[in-house]
Amino acid sequence: MHELKLVGTLGIFAGTLALVLLKPRGRSEACWPVLGAIVMIALGLVSPAQAFDMVWVSRSALLFLLALLLLSALLEVSGFFEWAALHAGRRARGDGRRLFRNVFALGALVTTVLSLDTTAVMLTPIVLAFVKRLQLPARPFVIASAFVANVASLALPISNLTNLLFADAFNIPFARFALYMLAPQLVAVLATYALLRWRFRAELPAFDEAKLADPSSVVPDRRYFRVASAVLAVVVVGYFVAPALHLEPYVVAFGGVVVLLAHGLHRRRVGLGALRDVSWGLFPLVIGLFVVVRGLENVGLVATAAGWIESAPRHSLVRVLVASATAGAAANVMNNLPAALVARSALHVAGEDPSGIFGALIGLDVGPTILPTGSLATLLVLDVARRKGEPVPGVEVLKVGLWVTPIVLFAAALAFALVDA
């Protein structure tokens, strides 16, 4: 009977992931985890109570995700992303190598304070639009966008949904998380930039900066733009202050949303169109995966993963490397979001040691840049490029990721181990 449950659970899990990644008949990837969850419950592999519990314990992360999506949409209405991208272009002064550097730095900043999905969905199409206008090759910028969206998501809990899930599950304060991740984040970003810059050194020619629009021309309402920029700055500071006031960080984010929404309505800058652009499908996708992963817990997969992590000495470089390598490999095989859910449960069983927790996060955030299916952000970047008429095959990401990712992952894990020593 156990063998039958194991086969059934693994089959539903594998089928769900395959459908999410392949999107047959163009259907939204959100449909399939919901279907997988329904099948899990219908077959008795997950009880309704267990399904509800998986969602309930992650409610803070889900609320934070909602607030970030709304905040990003309201910032886009202000012209903030296009304004920032044009500044990055003009400051390159016609040098393609400087442009690559500036775009990479902007992507890292946006990912850090607004999440990797914002970089993938909102910043990438703007960058590709002016790269096309400048008649520069798109491939270096598409691959850089995919890598920076993942690699720069270590710094803060808000930078990646996997971080939110871990910070919430292990009660990691915002400032403590940032302190632990500062060194590995700097190392990961700098190493990735240096390696990509070397890889594309022959594909970054000079360009005519006169073809770029003036940044101020893309700001439709200066007053709303100034308020949006100020709100973003206050919200980021508020994330660090919130624990002292006994507030959840999502309360701060929602505060920013309310202020921007009210001001946008008053200025008649915000309408239903802004809400339509929000990636609402992320919520059924995430909730469905919660339930499907609970099925894996019920057949003992989590206990097996916990054993691998527990076998390494606590507070050691070995444990950091084992956790990061295991989580990174799992992220490439099954996508980093379900891998994060499995790792989160496994670490609860193995013991809440910072070496394991943060090592796994490094693997989940940096590791899934080998296969294009390892991260939803990478898939989103490639999809944006295709829709913008600048398709980059997934094999191009694989060719770069096969040698860049292991180097960056090891360097980031080593940086964390030295901080944690």
Domain membership of residue 381 (yes or no) is: yes
What's the angle, vertex CA 185, arms to CA 320 and CA 142, rounded to 5?
115
What confidence category does residue 277 fall into, taking pLDDT thresholds of 50, 70 and 90? low
In tens, the pLDDT along 293-333 reads 788 778 776 666 666 666 656 666 788 888 898 889 888 87
- State the total domains in the chain: 1
Name the pTM for this structure.
Answer: 0.84
Q: What is the mean pLDDT of residues 83-95?
A: 89
Higher-confidence residue: 136 or 345? 136
Q: What is the mean pLDDT of residues 209-216?
A: 84
Domain membership of residue 348 (yes or no) is: yes
Q: What percent of the chain has pLDDT over 70?
A: 92
Q: How far apart are CA 134 and CA 126, in angstroms?
A: 13
**pLDDT for the residue 139:** 92
The residue segments making up the domain with residue 302 are 8-420
Domain membership of residue 1 (yes or no) is: no
Residue 278, pLDDT > 80, answer: no
Q: DSSP string spanning 142-196?
A: HHHHHHHHHHTTSSSGGG-HHHHHHHHHTT--HHHHHHHHHHHHHHHHHHHHHHH
CA-closest candidate to residue 155, choices 176, 128, 132: 176
**pLDDT for the residue 274:** 65
**pLDDT for the residue 352:** 64
From the CB of residue 45, how many other CB atoms can be counted at a distance below 10 Å?
22
Domain membership of residue 3 (yes or no) is: no
CA-closest candidate to residue 163, choices 336, 409, 418, 295: 336
Choice among 1-5, 52-56, 174-178 with the minimum mean pLDDT = 1-5
Contact present, 381 and 145 (Cβ < 8 Å)? yes
Sign of CA dihedral 22, 25, 31, 35: negative
Contact present, 73 and 278 (Cβ < 8 Å)? yes
Q: How far apart are CA 28 and CA 265, in angstroms?
A: 31
Contact present, 350 and 309 (Cβ < 8 Å)? yes
Higher-confidence residue: 249 or 155? 155
Q: How far apart are CA 69 and CA 82, in angstroms?
A: 17
Distance from the Cα of residue 209 to its chain's centroid: 31
Domain membership of residue 22 (yes or no) is: yes
Domain membership of residue 2 (yes or no) is: no
Residue 101, pLDDT > 90, answer: yes
What is the distance between the terminal CA atoms of the chain, rounded to a whole angstrom? 46
Mean pLDDT computed over every residue of the chain: 85
**pLDDT for the residue 402:** 92
